[in-house]
Structure 1
Amino acid sequence: MMRSGPTPDAGDLPFELPRTTPRERARASALARALASAYPDAHCELAYSSPHELLVATILSAQATDVGVNKATPALFARFPTPAAYARATPGEIEPYIKSIGLYRNKAKAIHAAMKDIVERFDGRVPGTMHDLLTLRGVARKTANVVLGNAFGVHVGFVVDTHVQRLATRFGLVAPGASITMIERRLMALFPREEWCILSHRLIWHGRRACKARGAGCADHPVCREFGSACELRISAPSRATGGAPARAKPAALKRSAPRRS
Structure 2
Amino acid sequence: MSEEYRAALRDLARIIKDVAWGDSERVRDLFRYTGDPSVPPLVAELAEQIGTIIVQKEVREFRLESLIEDLFATRKALALARRDPLTGLPNRAMFEELLGKACASALEHGTGLALMLVDLDKFKDVNDTLGHAAGDELLALCAARLRECVGEPGILGRLGGDEFAVLFVDQREDETLRAGEAILESLRRPFALKDGDVSVSASVGVAFRSPDASAPARLLKNADVAMYRAKAEGRNRLWRYRPLAFPNPS
Give the TM-score band, short-chain normalised: under 0.3
Higher helix fraction: Structure 1 or Structure 2? 2
Tell me which structure has the larger Cα radius of gyration: 2
Q: What TM-score results when the alignment is normalised by the length of structure 2?
A: 0.24
Higher strand fraction: Structure 1 or Structure 2? 2
